[in-house]
Every structure is written in C-alpha cells, then in structure tokens.
Homo-oligomer: A and B are copies of this chain.
Amino acid sequence: MKNLWNRIREAAPLIHGITNYVTINDVANVLLACGASPIMAEAPQEAAEICAGCDGLLLNLGMPRPDKLEAMILAGREANRLKIPVVLDPVGVGASAYRMDSVSRLLREVSFSIIRGNLSEIQTLCRNTSSRGVDACREEGTTEDALLGLAKELAHQTKAIIALTGPTDVITDGDRTYSVYNGCPMLSKITGSGCMLSALTAACVAASPQDPLMAAVTAVTAMGVCGETATNRMTEQDGNGSFRVYLLDAVFRLTGDELEVKARYET
C-alpha cells in the first residue's frame, strides 16, 4: 500500500476526467494533491484524442447530458483500445431512468477497471445488470455479508473491481476481498467526497495499472485516513467549509509511510 501510494507522486499520471460540475474543482485539486494531474474534456470532438494522451480515465455520471455521455463512450473505447485504466463513478444512478440507461450503455460499450459507488448505487447497478434478476442482489440488509454479496455479484457481472463505500468499505474483484475501516462521518457532510475518492482511485490505478485491486484498496484507505486527519484538525468554529479544505490538505500531506501506519483494513 505504501509503495502504491508513493508511486502516484513518482509517476505523476495524467487523468482525463469527464465529471459533474458540482465537484469538478475538488476532483481537479485532489488529483493535484495526490501527485497526479487533471485534464477535463467532455466535448465528443476531443474526448478520444485527449484520452489517448492520458494515463487514466475517470467517468463520473453526475449531471449527465447526452453530449457528455457520447464523450464518455468515445473516451472509454479509446482507453480500452490503448489499455488505459478506466474508473466509473455511477453517481445517483438510481435517481432516474436516464442515469440507469446511461450507465447500462456505458457498461455495454466500455470495460472498466474499477467501479466505485455507495450502497444504493451498487445495488441499483447489480439489480439492473444481473441476468438472474432482482433476487441475485437482495436488499434486505446492509450487514457486511450483504454488502459483500452485492459487490462480488457486480464484480462477476462486470469483470471490474468493485469498491463499495460506506461506514465499512468493501473492495473486491469477485474472489479476493478487502474490508476498510478508515473514514469519518464528516465525509458525508461535504459534497464531493465520493467524487474525490473516485478520482484518487483513478490516480492510483493509473500509476499502478498492473494491480487494480490494491489500487482501489489504497485509494479507499487513503481517503478514509485523510478524512480522519481532517476531522482531527477541526476546531469548535469549523464546519464543512473548513473540513473540505483540510481534506485536500491531508491528501496533499499524506505519505506512504503515514498511510501504512494509519490504515485499518483486512482481507
């Protein structure tokens, strides 16, 4: 994990992001904070060409629009052709039929290295892509076992690493599984902690494309550790405005050694 995190600063991967506008600035700054570089480009006219010059591709479904979806598919196919790793963040996929249709099309036309989502998003994907129907992904609980079942199911369906984040994070390739216990409640009090995590995931896997499972584990753990660091820094006057600043600062300052010491995960 230590080497994987340090590898980002050594490789300084360039990440092509097609992402929502709510958190686009945070996504760009968190990429710079961890040692990567961002380039945002969402016109179909340039999406494939921009992607071809990058080390990783981040597709974030927030605020979808037809031309952005087209750009995602063009960039995604080019990334697949050039073996550039692609990360999908299916933001709010359960909120509308349009988002579900968009993700379904993405999953048909692009191969993803890693899919990073919360429980509701992963459930929605699982339900909609399963050939065994709804029963394959029962929703009756959010026990760790239930989360694990969902994530494994989707990993088998998509052949991607699944990073299901929540109070406990579960990362699996369908066979090997990690649980990560780092994190803090404040992460849900700012917009963009999920988007930033997906960006970190893209940076990790772009710097270490040979090990997407550990790349996802490293990103998830790093975000949790940085959330804890930022929370510890808060004073009585601070709220989610300062937390957002401290979170970026924490990513900027995080070393591989510190990550290894503070990481709480098990296989």
Contacts and interface: CB of A to CB of B under 8 A. Distances in A.
Given A29-B190, A46-B64, 11 more contacts: A21-B24, A23-B28, A25-B191, A25-B192, A29-B240, A33-B240, A41-B95, A239-B250, A239-B252, A240-B252, A241-B246
Nearest to A52: B96
Given A45-B66, A98-B43, A29 B249 contact: no
Interface in A36-60: 38-43, 45-46, 49-50, 53
A39 B23 CA distance: 12
A65 interface: yes
B43 A62 contact: no
A246 B236 CA distance: 12
Q: How large is the interface on A (under 10, 10 to 19, 20 to 34, 35 or more residues)?
A: 35 or more
A264 B149 CA distance: 55
Nearest to A18: B63
B49 A96 contact: yes
B98 A45 contact: yes
Interface string A160-194: 00000000000000000000000000000111100
A176 B66 CA distance: 46
Contacts of A191: 25, 28-29, 32, 38
B245 A241 contact: yes
Contacts of A244: 29, 241, 245, 248
